[in-house]
Amino acid sequence: MIEVRNVSKAFGGVIANRDISIDVAEGQITGLIGPNGSGKTTLFNSIVGYHPVDSGSIKFKGQEIKDFRVQDIARLGLVRTFQQTRIYKQMNCVDNMLISVPHRRMAWGDMFGRQSSDEMERAEHLLEFVGLYRKRLLAAGDLSFGQQKLLEFAMALMNEPEILLLDEPTAGINPTLINGLIDRLKRANTDFGITLFVIEHNMRVIMNMADHVHCLAHGELLASGPPDDIQNDQRVIDAYLGAH
């Protein structure tokens, strides 16, 4: 579904990604791991159009997208979440859902009262899916950090993505919420048919969830393969897993 070929990106004299080539297969959960500063988030940002790459090719379903704008890529069905949640803290959960879809977003003053019944039904259904239905009228800023991450996940699903890029979805979440989040991620994949591409530092989470894992180190692709192979790859152990 995503084909990255020989992608490089530098910021000034700092090389964030060097000649990276990876694939994200349709219908699977693909993991992206590596030490801090290895270039994972830069690669995500390049894929979704937050900054242009210096060289290489990025294709989505066979279409070159490396020069597309963020909003155009989102309309294709490629959506991402962030390490730090991007929600509207003064608005309640339902309104966050309704304003989250760029191509449906109305003028600020017209947003309330003009959404379709289908949009409202979908928003409430997805809030129920992530376990926030009872808090749907609560200001998003009053949610715990873990609940805010669940809200952002629901907001991403509101876009009806074909593929969802998740940047450290379990980071900062209370351990009691992690298993519930993992279950919902798997269900989004199996029940909704959404391909997932996940940056994750929690090795227990990603190795138990992913079908395929890529490992970056120092801005370069170190290894790719099934989770069992990655866990037993000495290069990966030396660069990353030995510290976890």
Query: Which is higher by pLDDT, 112 or 168?
Result: 168
Structure confidence by residue, pLDDT tens digits, 73-87: 988 999 998 777 889
Give percent above pLDDT 90 in the chain.
70
Average pLDDT over residues 28-56: 94
Domain range 1-77+161-244, its CATH number among 2.60.40.3880, 2.60.40.10, 3.40.50.300, 3.40.50.720: 3.40.50.300
Domain boundaries, the chain: 1-77+161-244, 87-159
DSSP code for 216: E
Distance of CA 64 to the CA centre of its chain: 20
Give percent above pLDDT 70 in the chain.
92
* pLDDT at residue 102 is higher than 80: no
What per-residue confidence (pLDDT) applies to 162? Answer: 96
What per-residue confidence (pLDDT) applies to 171? Answer: 87
Average pLDDT over residues 95-115: 63
pTM: 0.90
Query: Which is higher by pLDDT, 20 or 114?
Result: 20
What per-residue confidence (pLDDT) applies to 109? Answer: 45
Query: Which is higher by pLDDT, 165 or 81?
Result: 165
Burial of 109 (0-12, 13-18, 19+ CB in 10 A): exposed
Supply angle C-alpha 127, 129, 134, rounded to 5.
Answer: 45
Characterize the bridge pairing of strands 220-225 and 212-217: antiparallel
What per-residue confidence (pLDDT) applies to 94? Answer: 95
What per-residue confidence (pLDDT) applies to 108? Answer: 46
What per-residue confidence (pLDDT) applies to 106? Answer: 47
What per-residue confidence (pLDDT) applies to 242? Answer: 55
Structure confidence by residue, pLDDT tens digits, 121-152: 999 999 999 999 999 999 999 999 889 999 99
